[in-house]
Amino acid sequence: AQTVTQSQPEMSVQEAETVTLSCTYDTSESDYYLFWYKQPPSRQMILVIRQEAYKQQNATENRFSVNFQKAAKSFSLKISDSQLGDAAMYFCAYRSPRSGTYKYIFGTGTRLKVLA
Amino acid sequence: DTGVSQDPRHKITKRGQNVTFRCDPISEHNRLYWYRQTLGQGPEFLTYFQNEAQLEKSRLLSDRFSAERPKGSFSTLEIQRTEQGDSAMYLCASSFLSQGYGYTFGSGTRLTVV
């Protein structure tokens, strides 16, 4: 069974600085999707960025980018120029395309604090 | 379309009572998911609908839980004889059938069983 591990329960970053959130996963599959979701306090989860395992190029969305290391089963999220609005829980998620269900396996999350 | 709507936002109930939550997905989305999120944990998959058909249920979904999606539109999640361990945030999400992108989540229903 696939598992997702986020080993940093909480991280802090100064406004305008860069922070990296870690995620590792375990799978025997070669084709899958990885996601980072943001969950602000009392608000809905929002997709931040996604990565298809067959793509070697790391995904980028504005200030958000990933470092996808398939062999190491690592999928870290880098937030550049951190803003106060980036403060939230961040969840890493794995999705197998084989199940047909497209259900996610989530990590336990990393709470990001942004310091003014 | 304003996204995925969930109702109610908060529910406090006494142990042993039945509760029902509603989810209205984005109208053109044919996949609908229910997840449960307890404090300090990531969301855990409960069940999945493709149109009106419930195609997968997690072992987390005991026989006290039932979910429906009549006519492939809104969905309801009912918990019978609630227990304190049912206290959690219940999240609904929807997506297109063949979408390789992510879900659109609702804001969730927070259930507190006292």
B72: alpha, beta or left, given left = phi > 0 and alpha = psi -120 to 50? left
**A 60-79: CB under 8 A from B:** none
Do A66 and A76 touch, CB atoms closer than 8 A?
A: yes
Which residues have C-beta within 8 Å of that of residue B37, sequence separation ≥ 6? B43, B44, B88, B89, B90, B91, B108
pLDDT of residue B1: 52
Is residue A34 within 8 angstroms of chain B, CB to CB? Answer: no
**Does position A67 have pLDDT exceeding 80, yes or no?**
yes
The shortest CB-CB distance from A45 to any of B31, B48, B105 is to B105
pLDDT of residue A41: 86
Q: Quick check: bond before B8 cis, omega within 30?
A: yes
Pairwise CB contact (< 8 Å): A104 & B103: yes
- DSSP β-bridge partners for residue B22: B7, B76
HSE on the CB side for A47, CA within 13 Å?
19
Give A96-116 pLDDT, tens digit per residue. Answer: 877 677 889 999 999 999 999
Residues in chain B, overall count: 114
> Which residues in chain B show pLDDT less than 50?
none
pLDDT of residue A99: 66
The shortest CB-CB distance from B105 to any of A42, A44, A103 is to A44
